[in-house]
Structure 1
Amino acid sequence: MSPISHDDLHRIFKNLDKNNKGIVNVEELHLLLEKIGVRTTSEELEKFVGKTSLDYIEFFFFYEAMVKAKIAEKESDEDSSDDLSKAFKVFDLNGDGYITCDELQSVLSRLGLWEKRSGQDCKDMIRVYDENLDGVLDFEEFKNMMSASSNSENI
């Protein structure tokens, strides 16, 4: 979400304020947010805002809170991606951008998580997340595997 100028924000408020009373109700705000792809219910929005309508100053602070939340979300995503990138590099022993069965088995063995299993077990592990069926995991496939792993821990 890129910052909007004060003039543009004021123009948006005026367009939402159909009856020129200097107030925008949550329902009007909800319709605007839906148009720009923000999915929420009117009830959630009202709970977030804390009231059923906003004057321009409250609307301005609402916008500022949305921008700050979006920036924080983006920073969190970047931190998470950076951590995954570091984890990927641990497994990608030769640095070619792919995790092979041998690399996976080697790292898991060093971590004490692989005990005299066959190479087929390793290939089966990779095959589950190998979307393009090339026999190795690239970063996106690794990210999906880690995401699936963390989602199953939350169940």
Structure 2
Amino acid sequence: MCLLTPSDLHRIFEKLDVNNDGLVCLEELNRLLQMTGNSCHYSLEELESLVEKKSLGFSEFLFFYNSISEQKNGESRGGEDTEELESDLVKTFKVFDLDGDGFITSQELECVLKRLGLWDGKDCRTMIRFYDTNLDGRLDFQEFKTMMLLTKA
């Protein structure tokens, strides 16, 4: 999948830092990993052992993200198989398909992007229309898969 920019990560960090203390606790970090369908699954104890802290500042958050990204990229370069890619895409699709009806609407896309701090204020209908090959105003899994594979970094 596409790697996030430092600006994207900063917005996500700010959303996670609900008490504005400049720190993100491991529970919030773990929730983010699960919510985004990240295939790296850690218990809170494993996360604490990995980062050796109970909370992360922004620079530590960036380092953690980069470490996981490098790990995933290394796996991909080693020959990520089609089944794993498909599984990751299904998990990601489910993150955006908020009502579980098998389609992603522009409202769902906007809602998830806002939740992640990635919405730039643009109309999500344009993105949906661009990849909506059957012109029903929403993305099914195949259309979503095409979008993700065409925008892969």
Identify, as 1 or 2, the structure richer in helix: 1
Could you tell me the TM-score, scaled by structure 2's length? 0.48
